[in-house]
Copies of this chain bind each other. A is one copy, B any other.
Amino acid sequence: MIRTHYSKDVKPSSGNVTLAGWAQNIRILGKIAFIKLRDREGLSQVTIPADNKNFETVKSITPESVLAVSGGVKASAQSQNGWELIPIKIEMLSKASVPLPIDFSGKINTSLDKRIDHRYLDVRNPKSLLIFKVLSATEIAMKEYCVEKGFMEINTPKFMASASETGAELFEVKYMNKKAYLAQSPQLYKQMAMASGFDKVFEQAPVFRANPSHTSRHDTEYTSFDVEIAFVDSSEDIMKFEEEWLAYVFKKVKEKYGAEIKEAFGFEIEVPKVPFPRMTMKEALKAVHGLEKADEFGEFDSDGEKKLGEYVKKKFKSDFVFLTEFPYDARSFYIMKKDEKTSFGYDLIYKGLEITSGGQREHHYETLVKQVKEKGLDPNSIKDYGEMFKYGVPPHGGFGLSPTRVVMQMLNLENVREATFLPRDTDRLTP
């Protein structure tokens, strides 16, 4: 490896080191030159006196060129780190052209679209990079907790022979001489894992939705974190798992990046208290919209979710709320009914945005076939799926969650694309 240390691991006593990164800033004064060298973990100051044999080299360095700088570390009161690097050798690893196509320092306001066109430059801004560090830590902690609790990781196919829920939002693929569709969720497959006896599973993988809308919270593909648990008593078991899981994830993120987030974003990450408040959809609609009668039973739109978020924050001092007993009309055929109108489906709302859809599934063959028909689906289209319920499937449930939406809300970002490295939407297929 070219580098011996990241910037943050250097101490005034480190002796000779090699740092490597991007020349964020080059200043040449009469008798001294300075380079601010940036790596993933921070900034270093390289100080080059006029009598240093590298002094001439500095003149050829363009901003954002990639350098390896070997030299001696010297304590320095003037440097922010308390040390500076006096180079023995400066190696130009990759010279950057001038000018850069976008400013990513944050001094000039660049549109999100243009920033994403040049994402590899955009995320060189440490605040943008921090979003992806937080997303990475979030996803890692999500898996860690599942592993600790004895879950198996599964990988399910993204090609499907037919539409599993409805034809809407489905991408079609030319598959040899056939047609295939891209999975909108691993739902049916993770249920198959339950029938298989995998017991508790998670999968983190892309899902695909041909969503034609332009909103700040939808992409045509995103990473979904899916969990499914067998032998649950009720959907309450799933919510209990989910809230403890999220509390763990927030705690881990705070431990690792709490200080950096405070500095860059100006607020403290709050680790949520468990249990999260729970409201039935009826209670929530009544509280937010004043709806009381059963025939007004409905769902929240995104404005409604926002109002609910405010209500919950005020009433329960919580950023999270489980919305339980979802109307069956608004849920898929595979969800378990509580009664004719309500289901054991739930949503999890975080700061007024849905981040999870979950619930207990129907595991009785006859009931399931009935529900498929009620939803106007062709029972043949889910034949393989339906068949398995004849041969012993435990009661089970689970949820799917979008880690990017969690991070969007955690960091109060305005658009989910801020937390998506290379987003895909109606208009965007590049870079």
Nearest-Cβ distance from residue A226 to partner chain B, whole angstroms: 14
Interface hit among A81-89, A155-163, A307-315, A348-356:
A155-163
Is A39 on the interface with B (CB-CB < 8 A)? yes
Give this chain's copy count. Answer: 2
Answer yes or no: A197 CB below 8 A from chain B CBs. Answer: yes
Asked if A100 is an interface residue, CB under 8 A from chain B, the answer is yes
Distance between Cα atoms of A1 and B388 in the complex (Å): 23
Contact A154 B174 (CB under 8 A): no
Cβ contacts under 8 Å, A389 to chain B: 94
- Render A206-243 as a binary contact track against B, CB cut-off 8 A, 1 for contact: 10101010000000110100000001110001000000
Which one of A119-127, A270-278, A280-288, A322-330 is at the interface?
A119-127
Given A40-B198, A424-B157, do A65 and B136 touch, yes or no (CB 8 Å)? no
Contact flags (1/0) for A349-370 with B, using CB distance below 8 Å? 0000000000000011000000
A143 in contact (CB, < 8 A): yes
Please determine whether B161 and A429 come into contact, CB atoms closer than 8 angstroms.
yes
Chain B residues with CB below 8 A from A193, complex form:
421
Within the assembled complex, what's the spacing in Å between the Cα atoms of A38 and B422? 45
Residues of B within 8 A of A223 (CB): 155
Interchain residue pairs A-B with the least CB separation, the first 10:
A384-B431, A120-B195, A161-B429, A96-B392, A40-B199, A155-B223, A136-B152, A2-B231, A97-B390, A64-B392
